[in-house]
């Protein structure tokens, strides 16, 4: 089931970019959790298009409606269905790509797989699909916070060649949201915004890196071998549109260290077993160790450029493509809540799986 994610906390998204609506069905949410649209809307507002001049100008309010699974303000243990209407779809803007493959898009590969494709904005391959993920993860966020005190915060670490310095481990949502680029380092954020503005004027695009921290994750989440916590996080985050790389803790830089430099020494702090350092990124042996889970996701430059590009047609003829429509010159600001969402979904699923064996 390629549209379903999770084992116990199961999420199935539906809808296309320029169809009537997008949405999600969440199965496995514990009962008696207080829940309303107001718990979900803030995260959708952070993901929606048109929120600043450096992202796509598609105007969507992304107002969520809960259709089932909630009674008198509480979850009842049955599937929770949520829907968001597409209000500003403009499929006519994509008429040219009906017969032309956009470079680095999913146009060719979707056609190769299914023999048919929705060419209106990319269909299921569009980042519009992530509306459902973010809505589902808002439920996971509320449950994890109330049950364990878990907090998940992501932010833009790098845009193209501009990288923020060391971000304090206690960085919070307010600091992230203080900038439209969602980098909590104000000086670096201004440089990033100036770059994206210039790139937009050129009709080009840039990529970068989103970093994410999950705090107060209890030790013991995750399974050995195939369902390691970092393995499930990697799959979840690499399923996001435009994602091209994943690392956790020391990541690839850890390959340059000796074991004596990399090992996280154990100690007792506050009566608890802790690690003096956190190069493991909060996970050892595929299982959370109680430290902050710190990970990073690399996103490629947006594939759609407002420039002419060489391509081929569905009839195997050379062609020139001049894209139209509204597109992000940099996906990073809107990718931040998407990264948080996939981390939340993985943690909620593993927390519920842990309950079944203890």
Please tell me the predicted confidence (pLDDT) of residue 305: 85
Q: What average pLDDT does range 107-112 have in this prediction?
A: 92
pLDDT of residue 328: 82
Give tens-digit pLDDT for 20-35. Answer: 899 999 999 999 999 9
pLDDT of amino acid 242: 94
Question: Quick one: residue 327, left, alpha or beta (phi over 0 = left, psi -120 to 50 = alpha)?
Answer: beta
Measured torsion, CA atoms of residues 109, 113, 114, 120, in degrees rounded to the nearest 10: -10
Average pLDDT, the chain: 92
| Domains: count for the chain | 1
Q: Residues of the chain with pLDDT > 90: what percent?
A: 76
CATH number at residue 39: 3.60.150.10
What is the structure's pLDDT at 49?
72
Can you give the pTM of this predicted structure?
A: 0.94
What average pLDDT score do residues 167-186 get? 94
Q: Domain range for residue 275?
A: 4-357
How confident is the model over 59-73, as pLDDT tens digits? 678 899 999 999 999
- Residue 146 · residue 152 · CB < 8 Å: no
pLDDT at 89: 65
CA–CA–CA angle 350, 356, 358 (5° rounding): 100
Neighbours of 260 (CB within 10 A): 6
DSSP code at position 100: B
Helix axes 130-148, 332-357, angle to 10 degrees: 50
Residue 311 parent element (H or E): strand 309-312
């Amino acid at each position: 089931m390629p549209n379903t994610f999770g084992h116990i906390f199961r999420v199935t998204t539906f809808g296309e970019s320029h169809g009537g609506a997008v949405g999600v069905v969440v199965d496995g949410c514990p009962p008696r959790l207080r829940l309303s649209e107001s718990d979900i809307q803030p995260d959708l507002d952070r993901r929606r298009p048109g929120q600043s001049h450096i992202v796509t100008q598609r105007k969507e309010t992304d107002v969520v409606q809960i259709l089932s699974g909630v009674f008198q303000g509480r979850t009842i243990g049955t599937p929770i269905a949520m829907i968001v209407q597409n209000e500003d779809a403009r499929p006519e803007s994509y008429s040219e790509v009906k017969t032309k493959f956009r470079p680095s898009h999913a146009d060719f590969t979707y056609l190769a797989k299914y023999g048919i494709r929705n060419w209106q904005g990319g269909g299921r391959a569009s980042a519009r699909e992530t509306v459902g993920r973010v809505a589902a993860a808002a439920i996971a966020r509320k449950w994890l916070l109330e049950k364990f005190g878990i907090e998940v915060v992501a932010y833009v670490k790098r845009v193209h060649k501009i990288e923020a310095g060391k971000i304090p481990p206690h960085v919070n949502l307010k600091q992230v949201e203080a900038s439209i680029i969602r980098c909590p380092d104000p000086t670096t954020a201004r440089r990033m915004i100036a770059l994206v503005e210039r790139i937009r004027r050129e009709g080009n695009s840039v990529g970068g890196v989103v970093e994410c921290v999950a705090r107060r994750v209890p030790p013991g989440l995750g399974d050995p071998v195939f369902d390691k916590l970092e393995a499930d996080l990697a799959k979840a985050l690499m399923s996001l549109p435009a994602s091209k790389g994943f690392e956790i803790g020391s990541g690839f830089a850890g390959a340059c260290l000796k074991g004596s430099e990399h090992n996280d020494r154990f100690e007792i702090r506050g009566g608890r077993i802790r690690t003096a350092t956190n190069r493991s990124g909060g996970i050892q042996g595929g299982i959370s160790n109680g430290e902050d889970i710190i990970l990073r996701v690399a996103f490629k430059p947006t594939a759609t450029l407002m420039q002419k590009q060489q391509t081929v047609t569905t009839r195997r003829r050379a062609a020139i493509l001049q894209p139209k429509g509204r597109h992000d010159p940099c996906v990073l600001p809107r990718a931040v809540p998407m990264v948080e969402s996939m981390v939340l979904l993985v943690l909620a699923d593993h927390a519920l799986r842990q309950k079944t064996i203890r």
